[in-house]
Chains A and B, each alone.
Chain A
């Protein structure tokens, strides 16, 4: 008698096919999510109040450190207190619906729960103080914040060297101050290393050095400590 295993194989084949389709589906789904959300417009998180850096830092040219006062003194740049917001908005644009939201927080004596956009992993030690005091423009890492209505990590300029506002207020060419990050630079180790390789510290200021190779904080424990 001929016994065929074909019927058994048939159902196995179907099961295998379903499994393959499902696995391929996972990759496709992962990729689709990447395509959709890796866009600056989408990845920028919703903030509790639609604060625009463009209006403040761009149109009205308020210096970064007017609000982020601790950038030059502390490892963290500091988020302005609600009191600071109200310092101006007691007088300015008091009737705007967004400002009304701010006054509501102030009246309730509650902090505004801003969502963190620029984040480094806990195993990276970064200090704003050193970089700001060395004359590195905020935009070098944060991108052209003054053009952004909504802050996102990836929406930095991708036009190569540009003019960047230095922390001291003067306009510096990125050739002499710092390289501008490109869109492909995620907030990863390469972003830090590229800059550290191309710059040296002279008289407390970061200076571009074209031949590179300077030992400017390239030790692992410069950041990982």
Chain B
């Protein structure tokens, strides 16, 4: 023991003191932190803390109109599921629908009105009040309306159906403009035009996949994007459950889609020749006596040119395959032919879809269960009558360039992203003196706005939907707010109603809810008074609870019989493509992957969702056939420029075996320049380089008709994907053998019979 002098003693006392203090602090610091229990000031009536409340509503991520059930806890939406009672999706819901929560909670959502105080298109947005924002817009509208120049006001909205569509109509009427356009990139203009020409109805019929025994799908990716994918998936599953009577699915498309992968047979016909193929099958059906209608001679005349021999040559599908397809299609009962974007978005798109309608007619599928069933007229408005095709938007751009548009009101629509660069749509918008946007996000189009009045998301607002492709009978559903608005936003309908009041043209509703209720009151009043509920209020309550309303009034009409002129007009020309075939050897097929038309690209769940066919996440890619890749000396990850006459986009190569060697494909949705942190500056947008080649019959751009060339950049990137790592690092993990080798090898193995 050393001698402890006075100084050491003081040191020891100090050390001891610090130690004890540290001990106390240590124990205090590892204790459970203090938490608070914050009660409500006023207890809410509609939920108990800790207990989930479910609200039925409608998904607005695409136009299919699926019913959803949203689970909420303590007034916050937690999970979206399909509404099991809704006839369209019957409890199912696609990935984009599930990701709707990320629209609601997206960190890039606008939280209040903005004013562009610097140059247009810059980040110079500053916060303003609603009063300020609405006054600015209303004063512009009022001046034009009062001067009788309301037609210098244009409204461009995403496809809105139901009673909100009526509200917008009423507003347009109030300000005195007929420039009201709905715009969805994937709106099937060609299909409506073809149905009008062949059936005399500008409607979408119900394609009864569920009960069909033989499906010919011409470029319709019905499982992953076309019209109503969740409903088609249910139908596909039902048809496949048939045991011995199981449905046979044929997919005719140059690039295998998820629907092609799920089919029994994939027929890679030349792009744009789907209609010729359909008429070839029709020719065989008529010529071989499968069709016995009174008008058989007219059909024989019009189809005489489409012999299997000629069709085989034009479509690059062998005569024997065509014969087999025609026979099995005609013999199966019921059978069904559908034509989707792959067939409709060509220079001969409408003719092609008319040919497919004819095929259904000749096989006796029209109006039959398992075939093409006509829906009754929807009980509420659909967006089709106001849907703008390419020509309409080009006309709008032309008016803007000519200085004929003074105010443009945008509602959650992004044509700058989906219109080809060649349309110069963005430059045209710059000529409009005043642009106001009602979007929840700053996207490529909203970025050009002078004032942004952000609207609620669909989970916070009232609306309704009457899915047009339907289920074969009348169906509708109300979209109700499932949570209180998160931010300082307003419902689209309420903004419009407010503007109408400010310009002295008040509409007959007080609020969006009022408008929706008023619409449903009419439906209630028109319903059968013997079976309906006692009062509208009880009907309304029941409607909100069930989330869906339907009327079993399946329609079977014979008005769909084509007349002689219609039959005589049938015929499909060879497709035309923009770009010289020598200079631009490949046909570009932009297709819908998981991101719809690009509107879902700002949702991280969708970004990280592997593409159904390639398993790629977070990015764009160019699919090319292995043979093409070999010829060009390209491998996966080689960065290339895809050049059309109109421009170029850059993306890495992905070698994809299920595509024709003369076709390359790129997914749509990426390549945003201004759509929040998750979407911006990621991948490439193939729509940019499309040629504005229009199918005159539909007025829409033929998006599958642009020829391109591949220019290697010499750079290489790693494609991020979850499956099928292309490198096995020389270990030969997956060994393969050719068909002939396989046969030779198995034949050479001596078969030993084991004596019993």
Contact = CB atoms under 8 A, between A and B. Distances in A.
Interface string B27-45: 1100010111111111100
A82 B15 contact: no
A100 interface: no
Given A14-B11, A113-B38, A34 B27 contact: yes
A222 interface: no
B8 interface: yes
A225 to B, nearest CB: 16
B49 A82 contact: no
Contact of B18 (A25, A69, A81, A109): A25
B16 interface: yes
Contact of A111 (B2, B35, B39): B39
A110 B41 contact: yes
A79 B19 contact: no
A192 interface: no
A75 B27 contact: no
Interface string A74-97: 111011111110000000000000
Interface in B403-462: none
A91 to B, nearest CB: 18
B50 interface: yes
B38 A111 contact: yes
A28 interface: yes
B729 interface: no
Among B11, B12, B15, B39, which residue has the most Cβ atoms of chain A within 10 A?
B39
Contacts of A80: 39, 43
A155 B26 CA distance: 24
B22 A29 contact: yes
A172 B236 CA distance: 60
A114 to B, nearest CB: 4
Given A28-B19, A32-B24, A109-B41, A116 B50 contact: no
Given A29-B26, A33-B28, A119-B35, A21 B40 contact: no
B50 A74 contact: yes
Contacts of B48: 69-70, 73-74, 78
B242 interface: no
Interface in A13-66: 13-14, 17-19, 21-34, 45
Given A70-B49, A78-B49, A115-B35, A25 B41 contact: no
B17 interface: yes
A76 B23 contact: no
B753 interface: no
Given A26-B22, A75-B50, A113-B37, 7 more contacts: A14-B8, A21-B16, A24-B19, A45-B34, A70-B48, A111-B38, A114-B36
17 contacts: A17-B8, A18-B12, A21-B12, A25-B19, A25-B21, A28-B23, A29-B24, A45-B34, A70-B49, A74-B51, A75-B50, A76-B50, A78-B48, A79-B38, A82-B41, A111-B38, A115-B35
Interface of A: 10, 13-14, 17-19, 21-34, 45, 69-70, 73-76, 78-84, 105-106, 109-116, 119
